[in-house]
Amino acid sequence: MTPPGSVGADTDNPYALAHLDALESEAMHIFREVAGEFERPVILFSGGKDSIVMLHLALKAFTPAPVPLALLHVDTGHNFPEVIDYRDQVAQRHGLRLHVASVQEFIDRGELRERPDGPRNPLQTVPLLDAIEKNRFDAVFGGGRRDEEKARAKERVFSLRDEFGGWDPRRQRPEPWQLYNGRHSPGEHVRVFPLSNWTELDVWQYIEREEIDLPAIYYAHEREVFSGSGMWLTPGQWGGPREGERTERRLVRYRTVGDMSCTGAVDSQAATISQVIEEIAASRLTERGATRADEKVSEAAMEDRKREGYF
Amino acid sequence: MTSAYNLPHLTVGALMRHIVAETAARLSERATGHGTATATGRAPGPAAGAAPGHEPGPPSGGAPGHTPGGPSSDPPDRDRARPRRQPVKGHPTPMATTTAPHQTPAGDTEPRRPERAAAHVPGAIGADLLRWATAGSVDDGKSTLVGRLLYDAKAVLADQLKAVERTSHDRGQHAPDLVLLTDGLRAEREQGITIDVAYRYFATPRRRFILADTPGHVQYTRNMVTGASTAELAVVLVDARNGVVEQTRRHAAVAALLRVPHIVLAVNKMDLVDYAEPVFTAIAREFTAHAGSLGVWEVTAIPISALVGDGVVTASARMPWCTGPTLLDHLERVDVGGEPAARPARFPVQCVIRHDGARHYGGQLTAEVLRVGDRVTVLPSGRTTTISSIDLLGRAVGAARAAQSVTLRLADELDVARGDLIAPAHAGPVATRDVEAAVCHLHDRPLRPGEQVLLRHTTRTVRAVVREVYGTAELGPNDIGRIVLRTAEPIAADAYEDARETGSFLLIDPADGATRTAGMVGGAPWCPCCCRHWCWPGAGTAPANRRRGCRARSSRRWAGSCPPTR
């Protein structure tokens, strides 16, 4: 079987755009709509590949002028050091204002409690909403894609959040054509998802085409890991390995980048972008299924978190 | 058929068990006498059997010496010789594009032109990317079809399948419920119905697909509007046992109203009618005639069994009378994407990017081509100037084409802002403050004459008042109707039938910002005076509408534009 990655190499129609151009153009349209309609937009930037592609698209959308957007990172305190370095370099290189909302600070102040089972991903919601409110951000770009998860498949490109940051899937605004309705009352904000129609493979093909730098953990590397929740986790102060679990050195890479306590690595030999693309095209697991321990909890885990204001 | 990839026949154990269980249930259903349609003798030909783009041929009264496969409750033999996939000369193929019988409205001697239906689609779309939507009523197997396509195209991966199995098991079901693949919301799973549009992504070696999986329930018609608005192709699913029902007509009407360029009729559950060609042909004929009355001139009808897999991805040995493409073949090959220079260029200005004292206008070209040196008008002000340069995301280019996001610079210092439209000087739309439109009301709060609203057209938002709602006192949720608006400032709109992007608009509530109504500038493809009641020639509700009487029928504005009633 030809991998789907080979799609689009040939098109007979001279008027048609190749699919990456089409997706890119759509994302540009979304960025410019936000720039035209909102006062204080911000990009959620985690240093993960989706947010990196999002920033790359934003830079292109407003060229030759600088990007009229700030960056916001919700730091769980358990981030990969390579990713934090990357984040700081990018902000500096493009002269962007970087806001950091720290989960650790909230825990230290007693406003959040560590979960007994470890993962800090669900704890990000409170610092995120706090940062949005304090900085009066009215449009918040997220790198969420509809192919990631069932609840996300139902999300609009412009998704209204109430003053508590909540998402009500039953009261979403219809979004026909490309007419995005970003009207909101004071205190409310709109989450914007320019990568809605991209798949994991699209993101990687775009990274290859645009020669975008990524943190090294996206490529195969040797790492001390232990098996937990059915995936390879990096040992650390967040509670691993437990007794009876042994660490071992393996050749792995990360398909997603999140909180180290619940983001798993996959066995991989893919050291280059094209090898990664080959590997994804052949994979029998979804990106989140392979790498996220916290979403195996329940069928509606993502919907519930989104309702509370998660990404 | 040459397929570049081999598709598993749902060989994963769990899915296989599901299908075996379902098939067994159906076979026992059949044994009790249900669905024993027999087909003997000659199969009547389809409504018309012309290849796409050809003149409609005469209705085929008798296909020479050809009988359908006939009823068979024997287990299917997958290794039987495959039927030929090329249409046989002189034998109209049931799956070839059928063209609606030509209808001429009363008092209208000009034949209507088929290309009306082929309005361009918004969004940046290439020939290797197909946006399509499904529509069908509850229980006609839509989710099964989507599940099968996703599975066969490798878009359902092992962990998703496992999650479905786990949930099905937790609920005490013996087989995995494929609906769980697409119904992502808690409320949907609880109620067992699809409420909101779900977007699905999959690819085959030929094409990528963005599928808007839309709900079938009447009260969620508004969500079908969302899904169909950007689709280039809509699949309307029909249960072969039930034929064309009220919901089928409604879905066809929504697709026609939104000018989805390609309509596919998928006659599902052919296994339950013994793969009988006459059943399929009768449904295809009825649907095609109905679609024709809505102004849809091309319908591709395909017989399938989503559960068993016949005609979806692989051709069916049990339907040797089918010589056309399978559903996936058609989705892969249908001609979409860019178009020849049929319409003048339109460039709604999204934002002004200032740099080094220069003003760059950012936007997405919605049609045709703009070139450096072109004379253009800026609407609604009407001033003309020349394009001095075009940048494609940082790279200077000589021309921009449809669906590209670019920045323009103009030769003269004009006052150009977000909401303005740049169009060729010789072919710009007329800016107007009076807008007549077909609308689909989306919000629970009804729309009434005299209401103040915000009208969002391309990148422009203006205040407007609803002057008139035809044929009714108000439009409720999911209602389709015709309205007249008066705007506070002019908008430069095209007719929706000419251009989806510059002919569509939203009505927004000025108080809470809610999206209330989706609007299409210009005429609906059927009798505008009573479309609220879903009245069209040949529809079951037409006599009732005639009894109600359509006030607008006497209106001078619409006199003579109603298609003939039978």
Structure confidence by residue, pLDDT tens digits, B44-76: 333 333 333 333 333 333 333 333 333 333 333
ipTM: 0.85
**A286 contacts chain B (CB < 8 A):** yes
Give residue B185's pLDDT band: very low, low, confident or very high (50, 70, 90). low
**Whether residue B454 is found in the same domain as residue B329:** no
- Calpha distance B351→B503 (Å, rounded): 20
**Whether residue B207 is found in the same domain as residue B240:** yes
* Residues in chain A within 8 Å Cβ distance of B156: none
Residue range A18-202+300-308 in CATH 3.90.1720.10: no
Average pLDDT of every residue of chain B: 71
Q: What is the CATH number of the domain that holds B29?
A: 3.40.50.300
Instruction: Give how many domains chain B has, as a whole number.
Output: 3
* Residues in chain B within 8 Å Cβ distance of A172: 196
Give residue B551's pLDDT band: very low, low, confident or very high (50, 70, 90). very low
- Model pLDDT, residue A30: 97
| Domain presence at residue B352 | yes
What is the full DSSP assignment across B197-262? -EEEEEE-SS-EEEEEE---SGGGHHHHHHHHHT-SEEEEEEETTT-S-HHHHHHHHHHHHTT-SE
Tell me the shortest Cα–Cα distance from B32 to chain A, in angstroms. Answer: 38
The distance in angstroms from the start CA to the end CA of chain B is: 42
**Whether residue B133 is found in the same domain as residue B277:** yes
pLDDT at B397 over 80: yes
- Model pLDDT, residue B129: 85
Query: Percent of chain A scored above 90 by pLDDT?
Result: 40
- Model pLDDT, residue B243: 92
| Domain presence at residue B156 | no
Tell me the shortest Cα–Cα distance from B548 to chain A, in angstroms. Answer: 31
Domain boundaries, chain A: 18-202+300-308, 216-296
- Model pLDDT, residue A89: 94
Which chain B residue shows the shortest CA-CA distance from A13?
A: B127
| Domain presence at residue B236 | yes
| Domain presence at residue B565 | no
**B473 contacts chain A (CB < 8 A):** no
pLDDT at B217 over 80: no
- The pLDDT of A204-232, averaged and rounded, is 88
**Whether residue B411 is found in the same domain as residue B394:** yes
**B123 contacts chain A (CB < 8 A):** yes
**Whether residue B322 is found in the same domain as residue B458:** no
- Calpha distance B135→B155 (Å, rounded): 20
* Residues in chain B within 8 Å Cβ distance of A290: 159
CA dihedral A72, A78, A79, A80 (to 10 degrees): 170
| Domain presence at residue B3 | no
Give residue B557's pLDDT band: very low, low, confident or very high (50, 70, 90). very low
Would the CB atoms of A61 and B404 count as touching at under 8 Å? no
pLDDT at B549 over 70: no
Of A225-234, A290-299, B382-391, which range is least confident? A290-299
- The residue ranking higher by pLDDT, B222 or B537, is B222
**Whether residue B238 is found in the same domain as residue B385:** no
- Calpha distance A277→B475 (Å, rounded): 50
pLDDT at A57 over 80: yes
Q: What is the CATH number of the domain that holds B407?
A: 2.40.30.10
- Model pLDDT, residue A180: 95
| Domain presence at residue B6 | no
- Give ∠ CA A51-A42-A61 in degrees, rounded to 5: 70
| Domain presence at residue B392 | yes
Residues whose CB falls within 8 Å of the CB of residue B319, separated by 6 or more in sequence, listed in order: B68, B69, B83, B270, B275, B277, B303, B310, B311
Structure confidence by residue, pLDDT tens digits, B414-458: 899 999 999 999 888 989 999 999 898 999 999 999 999 999 999
- Structural domain boundaries, residue B400: 347-424
Phi, psi of A6 (to 5 degrees): -85, 0
Structure confidence by residue, pLDDT tens digits, B499-509: 889 999 999 99
Give residue B528's pLDDT band: very low, low, confident or very high (50, 70, 90). very low
**A179 contacts chain B (CB < 8 A):** yes
Helix then strand then coil, % of chain B, to nearest 5: 20, 25, 50
CB B286 within 8 A of CB B244: yes
- Model pLDDT, residue B10: 30
- Calpha distance B457→A177 (Å, rounded): 11
**Whether residue B418 is found in the same domain as residue B437:** no
Average pLDDT of every residue of chain A: 83
| Half-sphere CA count of B384, side-chain side, radius 13 A | 9
**Whether residue B321 is found in the same domain as residue B396:** no
The amino acid sitting at B495 is A
**Whether residue B203 is found in the same domain as residue B226:** yes
- The H or E element spanning position B147 is helix B142-152
pLDDT at B238 over 90: yes
Nearest to A263 by CA among A289, A300, A302: A289
**Whether residue B292 is found in the same domain as residue B378:** no
- Model pLDDT, residue B109: 35
